Structure 1
């Protein structure tokens, strides 16, 4: 009798299929992780933009303190361009604007920024925030509350639902209430 050593070397088809399934599951996990990180990065970018826009209008209000109470309102990007352009950065250094004209220009320019009018693709505004609403509440003592709301990517919870403290009702009423609403607010004093 002859003994035959029948040991095979290499992989069987089942081993290859099992390793492919494991590889595919790992790749799907990496792809999902990539999507989550992109969404989170975009949400963070939007919050950074909201912070910038909120601070921008506060700085404009500081420069035009006599008109402080006339900045009050809800802004959604619907203001029409004022007849007088008070933008000295465009080479209009010879234009002298009144405080009221400066306020009108400030609000118009600010709305154009946060609604994304400075960035266009195929005639459509693509910069700024998604469906933004801004609310300003200024008081005679110089206390100012600026609220910026926008629509986030994912449905999580209403960003203003749990607002507390001074101005909570004002914050809750700024923008449309829904599970994708994001809110950024600054409560400050302009003296």
Structure 2
């Protein structure tokens, strides 16, 4: 007489479907983590660019100390670019306006919807500037980066 093997071998359809669901949930989690990592990388890149831009403007202010208050004014393309031969006959305030013009172009090129504001606090000792940069982040709205620098007296 033959004996029937009652031990089950292989997977049933239900077990296969459950393992497929578990695997799918895991893959969706991995995809979400990957997307979050990409977003964090983009945010880090924009923050680095903003810090570099603020440092650039701080250097421009420090190199033109005779026009300290002018950096809180308006930007103007008045031909005071030393790289193209201009800037020799420019007053310090004109150079400051040109620095703001060039820097504004850099902010617009490097940050999405980049905007900036510079405030001069002449009453502080030493005088100080607050340089603020904002830009749009995908999925986060407008992000603000603010840096305050101290300008030593002349």
Is the TM value for this pair above 0.5? Answer: yes
CA RMSD of aligned residues (A): 2.2
What per-residue deviation string (whole Å, max 9, x for no partner) do you get for residues 128-156 of structure 1? 1122221111133521111111222234x
Where does the alignment leave 5 or more consecutive residues of structure 1 unmatched?
A: 117-127, 156-179
Query: What CA deviation, in whole Å up to 9, does each residue of 1:71-105 have, x standing for no partner?
Result: 1147xxxx56x2415142xxx35762522332222
1:94 and 1:86 map into 2 onto residues whose CA distance is 5
Q: Using the TM superposition, give the Cα deviation of residue 186 of structure 1 relative to its aligned residue in structure 2, in angstroms.
A: 1.5
Deviation at 1:69, TM superposition (A): 0.4
Corresponding position: 1:96 with 2:88: yes
Q: Using the TM superposition, give the Cα deviation of residue 47 of structure 1 relative to its aligned residue in structure 2, in angstroms.
A: 1.4
Q: Does 1:152 align with 2:137?
A: yes
Report if the CA contact (8 A) 2:135-2:143 is conserved: yes
Q: Deviation of residue 51 (structure 1)?
A: 1.1
For 1:70-109, what aligned pairs fall within 5 Å after superposition? 70-73=70-73, 82-88=77-83, 92=84, 96-98=88-90, 99-109=92-102
Secondary structure, counterpart of 1:131 in structure 2:
coil
Whole-Å separation in 2 of the counterparts to 1:190 and 1:15: 70
User: Which of 111, 122, 136 is the matching residue for 1:129?
Assistant: 111
1:20-48 CA-to-partner distances (Å, cap 9, x unmatched) read 11111100000011111111221122111
Give yes or no for contact 1:134–1:146 (8 Å, CA) kept in 2. yes
With structure 1 as the length reference, what TM-score do the two structures score?
0.68
Contact 2:120 2:127 in 1 (8 A): yes
Number of residue pairs the alignment of both structures matches: 148
Specify the structure having the higher radius of gyration (Cα): 2
Task: For residue 55 of structure 1, report the CA deviation from its aligned partner.
Answer: 1.2
Tell me if structure 1 keeps the 8 A contact 2:128–2:148.
yes
Partner of 2:52: 52
